[in-house]
Amino acid sequence: MEQRGNFTSKLGVVLAAAGSAVGLGNVWRFPTEVGNNGGAAFILIYLACVLFVGVPVMLSEFVIGRHTHSNTISAYNQLAPGKWWRIQGINGVFVAFVILSYYVVIAGWTLFYLVEAVMGNLKESADYTAYFNDFVSSPVSPLIYAVAFMALTHLVVVRGVQAGIEKCSKVMMPMLLLIIAVLVVCSFSMPGTSEGLRFLLQPDFSKVTPGVVLSAMGQAFFSLSLAMGCLCTYASYFGSDTNLFKTACSVSMIDTMVAVLSGFFIFPAVFSVSGVEANAGPGLVFITLPNVFNMAFQNVPVVGYVFTVLFYLLLLLAALTSSISLLESVTAYVVESLHQPRARASVYVSVLSMLLGVLCVYSFGPLSDVKLFGLTFFDLFDFVSSKILLPLGGILICLFTGWYLDRRLVLDEVTNQERLRFKLFRVYLFLIRYVVPIAIAAIFVNELI
């Protein structure tokens, strides 16, 4: 049996967990959702979801992970031997596996766009839509890039918790935050900024429906990496002096900040070029933005070049730190429960997930007409994981921590055996016992009906 790794510093803990949380969800999915769901009103609902649902669920995952110091499936088995709660452990690892398989597809596109941006090929395309469609529907390139990205992820995970995950997070996360700061400043110096800001800051509540609230909640779960075993697994590497509540707050704050800042540089840029729609859908970052960057910086092409390269580098770093946590969640299970050496476990998981990923890669090309329940494989995996399994997982985690686990155990864990004070314990307990499960269930049922 391999020795379990541990994060060695507080900074490492926060940056690794924030690395999992900050991902394509922040830079790609969040602005798209904001665009589709009425701008500022969506952001406000999203903030409420993070505060009242995200933080309590994250804290609960931390409690489970750190208390058991083991992978997600064993964690539930240890805390509730022989009980059906283990379903949530399995659900968590399973969802991580499924998400990894489609996450690498978009991450692969990002890698391709970064390479193209560096080579200066994104500048001159006359038709960005055709450019994008040609690439994603071709039978070879997107697959190669997805495999390359998966290989990068594997190379980090295989080095283990300290030398791989922690070390990379400490390099990549500060870079990512710096890039985003530069992009925001650049974007604010463009004309048309005020219109973009108005779109982000003026709420239009007429667009708010239960569907919008479900989207906000789904987005919060996805963006904070909740309910899929990633944070639970990372927490199993936390030391006994890690302040779980503080960490949950820092991670949620960094994640939300990056999402909102992404909106802050994307929308002003989009609005600075007339004739481009804000709600351009998932094509936003691959069709709209290269176009926008190019047009906005027509007079200073060098700035346009740097801006574009930085943007795709940002996306790539964000994607990588997240996919690492997805792969780690499943790998930790294979290492500990199936007794495989880490190197082999990581290869197994990467290869299997990539096989599933092929279906997702080809959902945009040769398999685009193959549909189950009216959805391509890619959309189906996304729908099942983020709209069904994640909310269900969220409910189970709350009920497990709030009702099943001994209250004393939970209190000891959040206070580090009473070495810390946690004044909000009752509020936390109330939220995970009643508010969060009821809220998730209500929105979920409403949506299904």
Question: Which tokens in the block code for residue 413?
Answer: 């864990």
Least Å distance, CB 276 to ligand PHE, is 24
> Is the CB of 222 or the CB of 311 nearer to ligand PHE?
222
Q: How far is the CB of 97 from ligand PHE (least distance, A)?
A: 11
Binding span for ligand PHE by CB under 6 A among 23-31, 74-82, 153-161, 355-363? 23-31
Stretch that binds ligand PHE, among 22-30, 188-196, 358-366, 371-379 (CB under 6 A): 22-30
Examine residue 304 and tell whether it contacts ligand PHE (CB under 6 A). Answer: no
> Interface with ligand PHE includes 391 (CB under 6 A)?
no
The count of residues interacting with ligand PHE (CB under 6 A) is: 15
DSSP state, 276? -
68 binds ligand PHE (CB under 6 A): no
User: Burial, 384: exposed, middle or buried (Cβ in 10 Å; 0-12, 13-18, 19+)?
Assistant: middle
Identity of the residue, 23 or 391, whose beta carbon is nearer to ligand PHE in the bound complex: 23
The answer to whether 226 and 56 have CB atoms below 8 angstroms apart is no
In this structure, what are the phi and psi dihedrals at residue 375, rounded to the nearest 5 degrees?
A: -120, 145
**Residues 6 or more apart whose Cβ sits within 8 Å of residue 431:** 52, 56
Question: In this structure, what token pair is assigned to residue 237?
Answer: 């590497």
Nearest to ligand PHE of 5, 25 (CB atom): 25
210's CB contacts (< 8 A; 6+ apart) are: 443, 446, 447
Which one, 349 or 410, has the nearer CB to ligand PHE?
Answer: 349
Binding flag, residue 153, ligand PHE (CB under 6 A): no
Give whichever of 60 and 225 is closer to ligand PHE, judged by the CB atom.
225
Burial of 250 (0-12, 13-18, 19+ CB in 10 A): middle
Kindly state whether residue 353 participates in binding ligand PHE, applying the rule CB under 6 A: no
By the rule CB under 6 A, 109 interacts with ligand PHE? no
Among 98, 230, 398, 414, binds ligand PHE (CB under 6 A): 230
Rounded to the nearest 5 degrees, what angle is found at the Cα of 10, between the Cα atoms of 18 and 104?
25
The only residue of 20, 36, 252, 363 in contact with ligand PHE, by rule CB under 6 A: 20
Determine which residue in the list 5, 12, 23, 394 makes contact with ligand PHE, applying CB under 6 A: 23
Compute the distance between CA of residue 8 and CA of residue 158 in angstroms, rounded to an integer: 18
Length of the chain: 449
**Eight-class DSSP state of 27:** I
Report the residue from 15, 16, 17, 24 that binds ligand PHE according to the rule CB under 6 A.
24
170-229 residues in contact with ligand PHE (CB under 6 A) are: 222-223, 225, 228
Q: For residue 445, which phi and psi values (nearest 5 degrees)?
A: -65, -45
Least CB distance from residue 29 to ligand PHE, whole Å? 7
Question: Site for ligand PHE (CB under 6 A): which residue of 16, 26, 91, 271?
Answer: 26
Specify the residue, 218 or 304, whose C-beta has the smaller distance to ligand PHE: 218
The span from the CA of 170 to the CA of 341, in Å, is 25
Hey, how many other C-beta atoms are within 10 angstroms of the C-beta on 21? 29
For residue 177 the two structure tokens come to 């935050």
Binding positions for ligand PHE, rule: CB under 6 A: 20-21, 23-26, 99, 222-223, 225, 228, 230, 322, 325-326
